[in-house]
Amino acid sequence: MENKSVNLSVLMDEFNAWDKYVVGIIQENKQLEQELGLAHKANDLTKEREQYLLKELKSARELVTSLQNTLNKHCDLEASEEKTILTRNLDEKNSQVLHLEKQLVDAEKEHQSDIMKLRMEKLQHQKAESEHEIANLKRTINQLQSKLDSQRHEFSVTNQGSGLSLNKRKRQ
């Protein structure tokens, strides 16, 4: 049998070294478990924060969508109102144009009527002048005829004594 002897002091030193090593690992393990617990808590908080932010994001997106829809409806309403106003203004302007065109036609008719009246007045004036001139000419003709008759009469009276009549002289 072999004699195995164990050195107790070396064994004790090794045991103490192992014990220190195990205690260090246990402490390190506890510290790591604490850090892991804190990391889990931080992770849980982060997940909660993420869920909260996702809800906020969803609410914000819904709000943006709602605001966009409201804005689109408002813009559509404004565009419709503006179109209605522009259509009304266009109709009013067209009505004014028609009214002005009618006034222009009426003014043109009145102008033509005035021109015709002026022409008629001018013609009447010319007719009156012509009639006056004709009357003057007739008067002159009558005066000349009277003079001629009077000269014929004088001539005939003076020539009767000489035996020649006006008729004979004309033939010659």
Longest dimension (CA), the chain: 228
Residue range 96-109: average pLDDT? 95
For residue 8, is it within any domain? Answer: no
DSSP one-letter code for 163: T
Number of domains in the chain: 1
Side chain identity at 55, as an amino acid letter?
A: K
For residue 162, is it within any domain? Answer: no
For residue 170, is it within any domain? Answer: no
Q: Judge if pTM exceeds 0.85.
A: no
For residue 4, is it within any domain? Answer: no
For residue 64, is it within any domain? Answer: yes
Helix (H) or strand (E) holding 105: helix 8-160
> Residue 91 is part of which domain span?
15-156
What was the pLDDT predicted at 2?
A: 63
For residue 7, is it within any domain? Answer: no
Note the pLDDT tens digit of each residue in 3-35.
678 788 998 999 999 999 999 999 999 999 999
What distance in Å separates the CA atoms of residue 92 and residue 167, rounded to the nearest whole number? 91
For residue 114, is it within any domain? Answer: yes
